[in-house]
Amino acid sequence: MTLLTLPRLSAPSALVLGGALLLLIGLAAVVGIWFTPYDPAAFAVRERLQPPSALHPFGTDEFGRDVLSRVLAGAHLSLATGFGAMAISLAVGVPLGLIAAFHRGVTEEVIMRSVDLLIALPPVLLGLLVLAVTPPSLWKTIAAVGLVYVPIMVRLTRAVALGLLEEDFVQAARARGEGAPTILWHEILPNAWPPIIVECGLRVTFAILLGSALSFLGLGPQPPASEWGLMIAEGRDFLRQAPWVCLAPGLSLCVLLVCVNLVGEGLRERLDPQLRGRSHA
């Protein structure tokens, strides 16, 4: 008895395919900000819950709004959540990780124990705690998701920096009398970027998914916004009667996650020396 196995994409193929599809989604998101086939917020009660057709390729929702227009208009919200959250986690986590690696003792203990406390909380619960105390909005969702992944960036940066601190070029910099900021900025950080970038490429997928989950729970952009998680939440009451209302944003979210994951996997195999050597073997 043999099992059917699917061919595995090589790193260049995954990177090119994922990058091309992600570029198309990005272009669609930019176009969706300025142009959609219909007004994504305009009600047309007489056309409510219409199935997919030539006039409405993705059908209409419970208010008669064109689902395709709403998917296009909401694409930039999901992209902004994922990549904006990663930018926040990088801006906060990388400096803290470098400081924890270079300044051992009390400074390291304070940073790492704070990180351990945040990691102990489930991501959704941490996001809920951040968003529950203030009125929900897109930027607060981005900040909450970014905070969730700050501990991961801190621990990864610290681990990479600890290994680099033992290298000869860092010891030479210390022997020249260079200070901590110079060593961290000019010696450690340039060599720490590859694994950090790879981790970001993989974590963007989870950030987008978490942002959509928070929007699904009503803690993201509020109606009439067309964020994909919110659209799925609004369409769940019509899942049997009009499944396309949920299916269109759900499939769009799946395609986006697959594209980002392909790019992340491609970057991981291209930048990781061990995996790169294995792929050439």
pLDDT in tens, the chain (281 residues): 444 444 555 656 777 888 888 899 889 888 888 888 998 888 888 888 899 999 999 999 989 899 999 999 989 888 898 899 999 999 999 999 999 888 878 888 898 888 888 888 777 777 777 777 777 778 888 888 888 889 999 999 999 888 888 888 777 877 777 777 788 888 888 888 888 888 887 788 888 888 888 888 777 788 888 888 889 988 888 888 889 999 999 999 999 988 888 887 777 777 665 545 444 44
Neighbouring C-alpha atoms within 13 Å toward the C-beta of 59: 19
**pLDDT at residue 280, as a whole number:** 45
Chain centre distance of CA 99? 25
Nearest of 111, 183, 218, 197 to residue 154 by alpha carbon: 111
The answer to whether the CB of 197 falls within 8 A of the CB of 157 is no
CA dist 171 to 174, 176, 198, Å? 5, 9, 27
**pLDDT at residue 154, as a whole number:** 92
Distance separating alpha carbons of residues 245 and 201, to the nearest angstrom: 30
Per-position DSSP letters for 125-170, written without gaps between them: HHHHHHHHTS---HHHHHHHHHHHHHHHHHHHHHHHHHHHTTSHHH
* SS3 state of residue 222: coil
Amino acid at 207: A
The answer to whether the CB of 141 falls within 8 A of the CB of 214 is yes
Nearest of 194, 214, 200 to residue 87 by alpha carbon: 200
Residue 60 phi, psi (nearest 5): -125, 160
Degrees to nearest 5, angle at CA 244 with 243 and 246: 75
Neighbouring C-alpha atoms within 13 Å toward the C-beta of 31: 13
Distance separating alpha carbons of residues 6 and 264, to the nearest angstrom: 19
* SS3 state of residue 60: strand
Distance separating alpha carbons of residues 277 and 238, to the nearest angstrom: 51
Which domains can be identified in the chain, with CATH numbers?
12-35+59-280 (1.10.3720.10)
The answer to whether the CB of 158 falls within 8 A of the CB of 101 is yes
Nearest of 197, 189, 196, 199 to residue 169 by alpha carbon: 189
* SS3 state of residue 219: coil
Does residue 224 have a cis bond before it (omega within 30 degrees)?
yes
